[in-house]
Amino acid sequence: MRPALESAGITPSIQYIAMPAWNVNGGTGSKTAYTAQLTFGAKFDLGKTAGIKGGSIQGLITNRHGSNVNQTANIGLLQFPQAVWGAGQVWRLSQLFYLQKFGNSELKIGRMSVGEDFGTAPCFFESLTFCGIVPGHVSPQYWYNPPVSVWGARTRITDKLGYTQVGIYELNPDNLDPKKGFNLGISGAKGALIPAERAFTVNLGGDPSRSGIYKIGVWHDTSISNDLVRDLDGNYAALTGRPAATKRGRWGGYVVLRQQLHGADAEGAGAINVNFSGVVTDRRTNLIRSIFVAGITKTGMIPGRPKDEAGIAFARTHINGRLAEIQQVEYDRGLTGRVPQRSEYVAELTYSIAVHPALSVRPNVQLYLHPGGRGDRPTVVVLGASAFLTL
């Protein structure tokens, strides 16, 4: 059926991602949790179906279901061990947009997420720390990653060095409501998120098998937001009980780098990829001030298994120093027995087994040092075994 549909201009897509996890150490006890994501949709080539050259329509529906070991075991991590948990375990309209290409430029408009176009990165590992679009992991209240969609528009211009793109997206908390997975209204909108990204494509030594992409991006949010720690009078809101100070505008920036150091042989073995991403968020409002992630993967580590891929990654998620400051004041005054939050350090080792061209199974072990940024908590150990089925 697929070749027949594609020849008619319709490209269907179905994917199921399963992410079971078991915390061996940490939290209130050893627990297991299973969460998963089902997506299905289609792309319609309007050049074939309606004679509109360069035009296409794409739709995608997502269902997330299951539970999160971070909650079931009360671990208190800053980043979830299972990347496809979150945004409500519900059905959602994740995409419904029109894309028009004009030579080396294109315009995209409709329902979509910020993260599907800006700050994108691969999702090889199971921990959310290392999976996909990092800006949305640290600013989920206004940077919307899949499966959440909003009204937006994005334009991109491609040149010899890479591309430049700018977007504008509705900032509407109603779209995060699990009861509004198919919300198409704009009531409740608070402002707009405006991201811009410049990307460079690089072939090391001019070798296409050693390709890479280097992205740098910034964003500005036009909505009114609460100060993280200060009240209307400039004092600590946690001590005075007064309402938080408010101000219009938030900002952030990121870099995403992915480089293939060595190309694969004819069977797929020997490919080495490195990646790095970093995000710095708004100091006035954001709980998480920065995150830095680095990883490396290699195919064909085991003889006779050329398409299997092993990877290891490390990250640091840093709490806003302004929050740590008031937490230190509360601790010193004996108002709380909780030590201030600083940084959470994460590592993951994953081995991807290529069961079939459409299926990979990825057992992994995750380590979380100073979970939740708390230096008084024991190291958390999580075992996972994610599976990716794409049809």
Q: pLDDT digits over 372-384, tens only?
A: 999 999 999 999 9
**With contact defined as beta carbons under 8 Å apart, do 28 and 4 qualify?**
no
What does the pLDDT read at residue 250?
95
Sign of the CA dihedral 169, 63, 134, 159?
Answer: negative
Residue type, 312: I
- In residues, how long is the chain? 391
Domain span at residue 361 reads: 2-390
Q: pLDDT digits over 6-33, tens only?
A: 999 999 999 999 999 999 999 988 999 9
The CATH number covering residue 143 comes to 2.40.160.180
H or E, element range at 240: helix 237-240
Domain count, the chain: 1
Q: pLDDT digits over 285-321, tens only?
A: 999 999 999 999 999 999 999 999 999 999 999 999 9
What does the pLDDT read at residue 137?
87
Owner of token pair 């599976």: 387
Mark 229-248 as b/e (b = at least 16 C-beta within 10 Å). bbbeeeeebbeeeeeebeee
Q: pLDDT digits over 91-132, tens only?
A: 999 999 999 999 999 999 999 999 999 999 889 999 999 988
